Structure 1
Amino acid sequence: MILPQYDQRCGWYELLNNVSDFPELTNDIDVDVLVVGAGFVGCAAARRIAENRPDDSVLLIDALKVGQGASGRNSGFVIDQPHKRDLESNDELLKEKIVRLNRVAIEYLETQIERFAIDCQWSRAGKYQAAVGARGNKLLDHYESLLRKNKESFHRLSRDELREVFGTEYYTAAIHTPGGALMQPASLMRGLADTMPENVKIAERTAVQSITRKGPGFEIITAKARVSCRQLILGTNVFTAELGYMADRILPIMTFASMTAPLSDAQLRCFGGQMDWGITPADHGGTTVRMTQDRRLIIRNSYRYAHDYNTPQDLIPGIAERHRDAFIARYPHLSDVSFEFTWGGTSGLSGNFETYFGELEKNVFASCCDQSVGAARGTISGMMLADMASGLKTELLDDMKIVSGKPSRLPPKPLLRVGVPMRLAMARMASRSEV
């Protein structure tokens, strides 16, 4: 069994101060609900089911410290607009449901952040989608046509606005959509964990080794304890297959990010742009860029088939060089700004681009195959899994079922080990002008 590992490289997590500690589970315990994985899905599910059933006991466990896994490694976007593939659907009601669910997730997160004063650089800054060359401009034009068709608000930036916002002449076009949010993901995850309802117990560094159905419930074995529970919620994404579910249906793809040291006052003046924004590329194979509230620039690009789920450390120097090239292309006037962190994070994709949500078997609930939109999708999925496990019937739950599907079966792993890197290499070549 492959277990999650932490490599001390994730900038978001390494910058945290005064991280609380939830002890490893060392004593056997009997609970009503066990939630495995304390990412966006798991934290939302644990909070929601505790709210739904305040007299029930809930245990939330994670193999790592909360915030060290995939949810704490993303680029800090919580998006309301679906990716272009979903926008291209001819089913107008389906698109409306996706956007509505994402916006409910954003509002739910914002409510917790405000209620508990979670310091996570939360900002309703929306997001930019930007193009570099002809390929990107064509894709951006198509994106604009989809936004218009769906009657969504957006603003296309002029060349002067591009330079004023991003502090660079590199981009030729960009569109801003206002509905999403930006945040520091590891800070957000820690804040959500630290403010759980009283009937939620958390155990960190507690990896699941096996799951066995026992009587009306389940017995879960960890390194030092047994957990008996009546219901089980899995927020384990790519690791779900390691627990015996969704085998051959989750494609783990890793992407990489680098974060600079904070810009000095002089470097900030040289930068010349605005603070607190995020760019996603018009071309999926392009480069994501963030400017954080604490003066750090983030570059994210490069993909690999993560058959081992975790980050091979020998890849990091080459990835950092690739990020450096993308950084200097945009900011040659900031050549004295150094990278402080480089890390990888894994998303779960599917062969037919379908996400999974539902009951895997009686009283085992899961959401996986997040398609690289884990913050909003994971949050609303966790909320709705809790409602499903509680026997609630709501319009939001009905919508969640409608927008979810059945991920297709993937080819055998030996073929994936050859085919996926080839496919990624071809995509990288096609997108090279946008990196």
Structure 2
Amino acid sequence: MNNRAIHLPHDDQDCGWYAALPAPAAPRRLTGRQQVDYAVIGAGFAGLAAARQLAEHVPDARIVLVDAQRVGYGASGRNSGFVIDLPHKMALEHPDPAHKQRLLGLNRSAIAQLQRLIGEHRIDCQWSHAGKYQGAVGARGLAYLEHFEHLMRELGEPFHSVEGDELANVLGTRHYRRAVYTPGSYLMQPAALVRGLADSLPGNVELLEESPIQGLQRDAQGQWLLQGRDGQIRTPRLLLGTSIFTQEFGYLRSRLLPVMTFASWTRPLTQAEMDAIGMQADWGLTPADHAGTTVRMTQDRRLMIRNTYKHVPRYGKSVSDSTRQEIRAGHRKALISRYPQLANVEFTHTWGGVYAISRNFTNFFGELEDGVYATACDNGVGAAWGTISGTLLADLAVGADSQSLSDIRNVTGMPSRNPPEPLLGLGVRTRIRLAAWNSRSEL
């Protein structure tokens, strides 16, 4: 197999999570010809977990983990900082209770794994068992919230309805009519967590950053050749933790949809500002209406607003600076509607992150062809799903069976095929605009 030119990540330079970290050490890049036992492409949650698990299974193997950017700069370092245990959105509505229980078990296994690694390696990433609020502003949001409560009862999971003073004393605003609190989610600083996981990789994993793979083919001996700008990796076994970019290597083409969502945050609020508003630190709220606004208050007292979705067929290159400014203005409106007292507090960063969704909301996990394994299409649940699917992908690659491996095979499948362009782009853009219009009261 020989690919055409591979389109590489093109993320903006304004991610607040990444900017808040100290400057990293100089990267090690791919040079020369490297023969390895396993190669993993993509150093996000999935790739990091896969490389770590491979190293534990085969400690004498030479394993290379390669990324086009710096660790924490891509999608895994750009999310809202939730690690969610519950099945997500459409998955929560799945008609088979066993399917949802498998997802719940996989997500909680990922959380336990992350908590163990954070403790063992003393990763400073604002890790917190804070739970999660799901909030409603108007009648549309309240209807979604009631449906969510119904689904939680069916699942047998605990939740707590919060409103009035109890809710306002946490959020510092009466903008929300009601929220449902679920206790199983964790909060974190995603760029810090990803970097910490990379810094603590086992000794037989070599991390190569700023080393985009620009070509992939199989040689006459059946080995895979990963071609970089200044070097080449040759390996019999390849694991892809590349999310939407999996299609750039020739796999799952016309089955993944690249979507970008955007966030902005403020400088750290002063304690006086926090006291004046009556807000607690360290909480997160997602919208009951999925197209609404996510709000995070970090441990270091930054308020983050996330909403707005774009179809980005050229990834970051699909979004202009003027579009980012329009999005930032929309975030500003959402902030002031909730916190008019902060009218003089500006945003310091606005950024986007690309993830993959599928039309049938199905995640892919498994062997693509002999010696090539992938987990792709997280459908917007990156941290927990990436961690557990990457771990189990390594198990699959070395032939280590488990109940968890059986579970993930049962809940994954083949993303459905997309219609051809220009129908695809027109349909996705229309659906996003319609969702934004219908959900405008929740923004």
2:426: which partner in 1?
A: 418
1:337-348 to 2 correspondences below 5 Å = 337-348=345-356
2:376: which partner in 1?
A: 368
- The alignment status of 1:408 with 2:406, answered yes or no, reads no
Q: Note the aligned Cα RMSD (angstroms).
A: 1.0
- The alignment status of 1:162 with 2:170, answered yes or no, reads no
- 1:59 counterpart SS class: strand
1:69: which partner in 2?
A: 74
| Distance (whole Å) between structure 2 residues aligned to residue 78 and residue 95 of structure 1 | 17
- 1:352 counterpart SS class: coil
- 2:422 counterpart SS class: helix
| Distance (whole Å) between structure 1 residues aligned to residue 222 and residue 314 of structure 2 | 34
- Per-residue CA deviations over 1:109-140 (Å, capped at 9, x if unaligned) read 11110000000000011111110000000100
Q: Which runs of 4+ in 1 moved over 3 A?
A: none
1:313-352 to 2 correspondences below 5 Å = 313-352=321-360
| Distance (whole Å) between structure 2 residues aligned to residue 90 and residue 419 of structure 1 | 27
1:288: which partner in 2?
A: 294
Q: 1:428 aligns with which of 416, 429, 436?
A: 436
| 1:2 CA drift (Å) | 1.4
- Per-residue CA deviations over 1:226-259 (Å, capped at 9, x if unaligned) read 1001110001111111111110000011110001
**CA contact 2:37–2:61 (8 Å) conserved in 1:** yes
Question: Counterpart amino acid of 1:278?
Answer: G
State which drifts further: 420-429 or 291-300: 420-429
Measured at CA, do residues 109 and 21 of structure 1 come closer, stay the same or move farther in structure 2, by a change above 3 Å?
farther
State which drifts further: 9-18 or 311-320: 311-320
| Distance (whole Å) between structure 2 residues aligned to residue 98 and residue 27 of structure 1 | 42
| Distance (whole Å) between structure 2 residues aligned to residue 219 and residue 84 of structure 1 | 38
1:244: which partner in 2?
A: 250
| 1:312 CA drift (Å) | 3.0
Question: Counterpart amino acid of 1:23?
Answer: R
Q: 2:225 aligns with which of 219, 225, 242?
A: 219
- The alignment status of 1:98 with 2:112, answered yes or no, reads no
- 2:227 counterpart SS class: strand
TM-score norm. by structure 2 comes to 0.97
1:262: which partner in 2?
A: 268
**CA contact 1:5–1:64 (8 Å) conserved in 2:** no
| 1:87 CA drift (Å) | 1.8
Q: 1:30 aligns with which of 32, 35, 38?
A: 35
2:181: which partner in 1?
A: 176
1:208: which partner in 2?
A: 213
Question: Counterpart amino acid of 2:370?
Answer: K
| 1:48 CA drift (Å) | 0.7
- 1:157 counterpart SS class: strand
Q: 1:229 aligns with which of 223, 227, 235?
A: 235
1:386-405 to 2 correspondences below 5 Å = 386-405=394-413
**CA contact 1:162–1:173 (8 Å) conserved in 2:** yes
- 1:278 counterpart SS class: strand
Q: 1:120 aligns with which of 121, 125, 146?
A: 125
| 1:271 CA drift (Å) | 2.3
- 1:208 counterpart SS class: coil
Question: Counterpart amino acid of 1:336?
Answer: N
TM-score norm. by structure 1 comes to 0.99
Question: Counterpart amino acid of 1:411?
Answer: P
**CA contact 1:84–1:143 (8 Å) conserved in 2:** no
- 1:106 counterpart SS class: helix
2:194: which partner in 1?
A: 189
Unpaired segments ≥5 residues, structure 2: 1-5
Query: Paired residues, what number?
Result: 435
| 1:343 CA drift (Å) | 0.5
1:124-163 to 2 correspondences below 5 Å = 124-163=129-168
Identity among equivalent positions (%) equals 51
- 1:246 counterpart SS class: coil
| Distance (whole Å) between structure 2 residues aligned to residue 388 and residue 277 of structure 1 | 36
